[in-house]
A and B are shown apart, each in its own frame.
Chain A
Amino acid sequence: MRTEAIPVHAVPLTAAQAETMAQLRIKKHHVAIMLLHWFNASVWLLELLTGLALISSHYFRVVPLWYVSIAEGAFGGRANMLHFHVALGLTWIVVFLVYGTFGFRTYLGEVLHKEIALDRDDFRWLIVRTLRILGRSNEPLPPQGSYNAGQKLFAFMIYAMIPVVMVSGVVMAFQLFGPAVVGWAIVAHFAAVGAVVSGLMVHVYMGAVFPEEKSAFFSMITGTVDELYAYSHHFKWWREVKLAQAEWEQRHDRGRLVPTEPAAAAPIAGNSDPEGGQEQTPGP
């Protein structure tokens, strides 16, 4: 697609356009990201299930006693359960550190800069989305990047809380720095996990239950989303991808006659840059 055919804003699509776009896929997630996501999900689930059962004092417990009993039984005793919890936690930390060290530039550098930084659209999105949920507005949502503002907030929260969980977990596992510090580590661990669980509930709901995001859920398995989803929900990212595609095509499209194919190249209505005239690609 030619660059000028890529809209600047998310204009309404025709049914035909929508159907076409629904068939096309864009790659959203690297394999590494997907593996890591599901690794995290399963590890954190197991840690949560065992961790909850490890709190037995009625001052601090948040699950019923029968749950604790079942969990203890499943592991053949509390000590085994604790060993499992610690071993798994430490394993996760090691994997994370390896990933973080070696994959930082490739996978995390970009992500941190571009994909989860909040911009003006994001802040407006947050406000508009809230008002829409409350039924107080029908304003369309501002365009979002690769991740919407809600997802970005979730990411921030995870990035903030998970190191707390890790460090406090290590402090507890090795009784570091004395009883007072260990005591606070337990509290920090619990609080951070609590925050993560709250966020996860939204995340899981949004990903797995909320129908609009069905595409997103499967993207964590296939690595791709369909273009229509991308266009509707993550326009700015869709646009970036398209621009990059177009640029790639142009760079690789040399020594070849560019056919005039009106249908596929039909410009999308409303493709006018409000600040200037149409861009013209130079002819052959």
Chain B
Amino acid sequence: MSRYAMVTDLRKCVGCEACTVACNAEWSVPAGFARTHVRKTEIAGTFPNLTSGIHVAQCNQCDRPPCAEACPSGATSQGADGIVRVDKDLCIGCAFCVAACPYDARYINPATKKVDKCDFCLPRIARGEQPVCVTTCTAHAKYFGDLEDRGSEVFRLVYAEGARRIETASVAVGPNVYYLGKPESLALVATSFPPRAPRLPAAGEAWRMAVRPLVMLAVGATFLGQAVAFFTQLAKGENDFED
């Protein structure tokens, strides 16, 4: 059992986007899309008392991933290690998960037409290597490890140094990417790039709220009707063959 997590130290991060490009190159993400994003906040305050921040975001491999809930085919699932995987064989490209992700961490790859996202470089960590964003980071600002390992760097950063999650009161799905930052700057990042409420696209909403209940009703009613007919028939006996 493990719970993989990442900590990004935004005090060190300079927003150089080495991570984005390395990740795109490693996983053949088409230009214009990304598994990890570097976003700068607006510069807040009035000259010369200013704050700004940098947000480095990717799939958070959440404790309670809304994407896994939303996926109709079960392509998206969470492993025992905490990593949310996408089984490309099962993905039908409906993008329900894209709408469900509060952190907008997923995208549909126009070449494969299936959804893609960060998986903490699963094949690499399986070989004992680190994710490429971590290994290429010019500021050594990213840390990756197992939160269940008390000796790990990420454990120390989260529990001893207070690396925090970016959540809101209404959207708290337990993201496993934590951040360290100058308090003002980190607060600005959290308010500039908060998670949004998970949603479903129109088709998914229609299915969940209307079509599924209707179908269940129809099938159920039919079944009941048949059951009644059957019992009536039993009662009446078989040779009701006059006409």
Contacts and interface: CB of A to CB of B under 8 A. Distances in A.
Q: Do A and B come from one complex?
A: yes
Interface of A: 54-60, 62, 78-79, 82-83, 133, 140-141, 172-173, 175, 179-180, 182-187, 190-191, 194-195, 197-199, 201-202, 205, 209-212, 232-233
Contacts of B208: 59-60
A202 B72 contact: no
A60 B73 CA distance: 10
A233 B222 CA distance: 23
Interface size class for chain B? 35 or more
Given A57-B70, A191-B215, A209-B230, 14 more contacts: A55-B73, A62-B212, A78-B74, A179-B108, A180-B95, A182-B94, A182-B95, A183-B94, A183-B203, A184-B203, A186-B92, A187-B207, A202-B226, A210-B229
Contact of A179 (B69, B70, B98): B98
Contacts of A211: 233, 238-241
Nearest to B239: A211
Nearest to B237: A211
Contacts of B95: 179-180, 182-183
Nearest to A141: B243
Contacts of A140: 243
Nearest to B203: A183
Nearest to B71: A57
Nearest 9 pairs of A and B residues by beta carbon: A194-B215, A179-B95, A183-B203, A56-B74, A175-B113, A175-B93, A79-B89, A198-B222, A184-B203
B94 A179 contact: yes
Given A57-B70, A187-B206, A187-B207, A197 B219 contact: yes
A59 B113 contact: no
B223 A186 contact: no
14 contacts: A56-B72, A57-B72, A59-B70, A59-B207, A60-B207, A179-B108, A187-B211, A190-B211, A191-B214, A202-B222, A205-B229, A211-B233, A211-B238, A212-B240
